[in-house]
Amino acid sequence: MICKIFREKYKRLLLFLFGIAFISSAYAQSNDIFICKDAFISFFSSAPVENIAAQTNQAVSAINMKTGDVYFKVPMRTFQFKRGLMQQHFNTEYLETDKYPFAIFKGKLSGFTLPVNDGTYPVTVDGQLTIHGVTKEYAVPGTLEVKNGQITAGTSFNISLADHHIKIPAILNHNIAEVLAIKVKAAYSPMNKN
Amino acid sequence: MHPIKTIPLVMLLAACASPLFAQQNLSGLFSDSTLNPPNQPVLGTFSSPFIVNAQSNETLHKHDLNFYISHRFDDIAGKYGGVKTLFGLDNATDVMISFQYGISNRLTVGIGRFKGAPEVRYLKVPFNTISQLWYGELKYRLLQQTEDNSMPLAVTLYGNALASSMAVNENPSSDAHFNNFGDRWSFMAQAIIARKFSNKISFEVIPTYLRRNYVAFGDVNNMFALGVGGRWQFNRTMAIVADAFIPFRSQSSRNYFISNGIVFYVPISIGWEIVVDGHDFNINFTNANAISANQMIPYTTRNWGKGGFRWGFNLSRTFTLFEGTRHNWKK
């Protein structure tokens, strides 16, 4: 009998503890995580014959301000070029976006300490960038601006086409630059407000 | 501590720690199918709006202006070719100059001019004497093949109208003996049904209806034809392209022409295509004298087997107008 009562109590206690743990974890998680669903990414290269420029504002990103984890996912088909034919060749011949639909970055932010007050922080982003199915380590400087619970992040860096096995046909060797300048800008809001 | 009391503690700790693990998997916050829907249109079934003599299913991109010129020489071999005409280079059987413009990504309009390919060998039966052709065309991309095959085929509609500006031929049995302005016209309608089978191989079939308002005795005003076309891209910039049309001429018309010593052949064209960004160059061999499908389909009388093929080239250059207005371009 006593044993039974104890079991009932125990069950309730267990449920209560689980409830608290669940709520607190969900709360902590969404409070630390900031999300951006319209990250802007552009690339540019200048070449003797023709500049190549494209941009998208349909990339997605998330930052965990507690751990410093950063994640970017870029749907490659959303890159818009000024010339439709160039956009088509980008997809079919260069990035092969039917096989490799996303560019993905997984990394960590460093250069700020918690709690983060309003202000602009120079940060460093370290991680793996996968483009065209080829992953390479990057460490690039960026800025993190915190204001009224919103975060704006930005960075610019260069990538080499050869690093990601993006081949230029021999006939176009002098028309396409080997290095692209990438710009990233993303405005984040807390996940629990999304 | 009593073991049973440690269980909830462990579970509590695990529950508190779980967000730490969850946080490392930020990738799970976004769904692939929203970011990159699986029904993306298949791009680049053909490299340009043209194969060799046939239309491909491709339309121009919005605001693209295409300048397209095409040239056919005379027979390489046989009775009319050989060294004496430098393998046909002395004569041009047809010349085309044209412009196409992309009103939207789906709708392309074009205008142009053909020299026209009148047949000079059978003047006793002047069934093909029309030259100096002007044309206008409309091309509409109706359906796009999708990457997930929810739409397995691409369908493009094509229509053109040709009119001859030549002087009326005095010979009453000539097809250029125009009685009125309407006699100068011919029209073609096509449904281009295409599929890109892999990154290298594309095919299409082209059910075709051809209306010629005025034809010579024994010829037919209305004709159906079935075209086929294909492309094999063998490296980044080069492809082999080919097309052919089977004209369905009535047996009585066929017999009439055979009795006058004229045999019609299936126009078969094969080309080597080099694509570099906005340039598309193609060296081709074909038994058709004419570049315009309105003349090529009913009037091809040269035979591959008897040296009745020629070399020719197609050359196109695409320019983009109003570059900045394609999208909401940010500086």
User: What's the CATH number where A52 sits?
Assistant: 2.40.128.110
Amino acid found at A14: L
Within a domain: A135: yes
| CA-based torsion, A81, A84, A86, A89: positive or negative | positive
pLDDT category at B26 given cuts 50, 70, 90 is confident
Q: What is the pLDDT of residue B79?
A: 84
Distance between CA A36 and CA A29 in Å, rounded? 16
Within a domain: A113: yes
Within a domain: A176: yes
Taking the Cβ of residue B238 and every Cβ of chain A, the question of whether any pair is shorter than 8 Å is answered with: no
From residue A112, give the alpha-carbon distance in Å to each of A10, A14, A105, A146, B252: 44, 38, 20, 11, 88
* Residues 6 or more apart in contact with residue B193 via CB below 8 angstroms: B57, B153, B154, B155, B204, B205, B206, B207
Taking the Cβ of residue B42 and every Cβ of chain A, the question of whether any pair is shorter than 8 Å is answered with: yes
**Mean pLDDT to the nearest integer, B200-209:** 97
Best probe of the A interface among B6, B18, B34, B36, by most A CBs < 10 A, is: B36
pLDDT category at B4 given cuts 50, 70, 90 is low
Query: Does A1 score more than 80 pLDDT?
Result: no
Q: What is the pLDDT of residues A122-141, one digit of tens each?
A: 999 999 999 999 999 999 99
**Mean pLDDT to the nearest integer, B272-289:** 92
Contact pairs from chain A to chain B, CB under 8 Å: 136
Please indicate whether, in this complex, the C-beta atoms of B26 and A55 are within 8 angstroms of each other: no
Exposure pattern of B104-123 as b/e (b: 16+ CB <10 Å)? ebeebbbebebbbbbbeeee
Query: Does A59 score more than 60 pLDDT?
Result: yes
Give the range among A28-42, A67-81, B103-117 with minimum mean pLDDT: A28-42
Q: What percent of chain B has pLDDT over 70?
A: 90
Per the CB < 8 A criterion, the answer to whether A56 and A74 are in contact is yes
- Whose structure tokens read 């501590």? B1
Q: What is the pLDDT of residue A16?
A: 64
Within a domain: A24: no
Taking the Cβ of residue B39 and every Cβ of chain A, the question of whether any pair is shorter than 8 Å is answered with: no
Q: Which two tokens stand for residue B276?
A: 């570099």
**Mean pLDDT to the nearest integer, B153-161:** 97
Please indicate whether, in this complex, the C-beta atoms of A169 and B60 are within 8 angstroms of each other: no
Give the range among B60-69, B168-177, B288-297 with minimum mean pLDDT: B168-177
Within a domain: A43: yes
Best probe of the A interface among B16, B25, B29, by most A CBs < 10 A, is: B29
Q: What percent of chain B has pLDDT over 90?
A: 72
Chain B neighbors of A106, CB-CB under 8 A: 27
Distance between CA A50 and CA B278 in Å, rounded? 11
Q: Please name the residues between 52 and 71 in chain B that touch chain A, using a CB distance below 8 Å.
A: 60-64
CA distance A29 to chain B (A): 6
Q: What is the pLDDT of residue A39?
A: 95
Give this complex's ipTM.
Answer: 0.83
Is the pTM higher than 0.80?
Answer: yes
Taking the Cβ of residue B10 and every Cβ of chain A, the question of whether any pair is shorter than 8 Å is answered with: no
Chain B neighbors of A18, CB-CB under 8 A: 11-12, 15
Within a domain: A20: no
Q: What is the pLDDT of residue A95?
A: 93
Q: What is the pLDDT of residue A18?
A: 61
**Mean pLDDT to the nearest integer, B91-118:** 95
Q: Which of A18, A67, A77 sits opposite B40 (nearest CB)?
A: A77
**Mean pLDDT to the nearest integer, B141-168:** 96
CA distance A94 to chain B (A): 9
pLDDT category at B72 given cuts 50, 70, 90 is very high
* Domain boundaries, position A126: 32-193
Per the CB < 8 A criterion, the answer to whether B126 and B149 are in contact is no
pLDDT category at B16 given cuts 50, 70, 90 is low
Query: Does A170 score more than 80 pLDDT?
Result: no
**Mean pLDDT to the nearest integer, B317-327:** 80
Q: What is the pLDDT of residue A174?
A: 67
Q: Please name the residues between 275 and 304 in chain B that touch chain A, using a CB distance below 8 Å.
A: 276-278
pLDDT category at B331 given cuts 50, 70, 90 is low
pLDDT category at A168 given cuts 50, 70, 90 is confident
Q: CATH number of the domain at B58-321, out of 1.10.3720.10, 3.10.20.740, 3.55.40.20, 2.40.160.40? A: 2.40.160.40
Within a domain: A22: no
Please indicate whether, in this complex, the C-beta atoms of B320 and A82 are within 8 angstroms of each other: yes
Q: Which of B235, B323, B330 sits opposite A55 (nearest CB)?
A: B330
Please indicate whether, in this complex, the C-beta atoms of A102 and B32 are within 8 angstroms of each other: yes
Q: What is the pLDDT of residues B74-96, one digit of tens each?
A: 999 988 888 988 998 988 999 99
Q: What is the pLDDT of residue B23?
A: 44
Please indicate whether, in this complex, the C-beta atoms of A169 and B16 are within 8 angstroms of each other: no
Greater model confidence, B194 or B169: B194
Taking the Cβ of residue B22 and every Cβ of chain A, the question of whether any pair is shorter than 8 Å is answered with: yes
Number of domains in chain A: 1
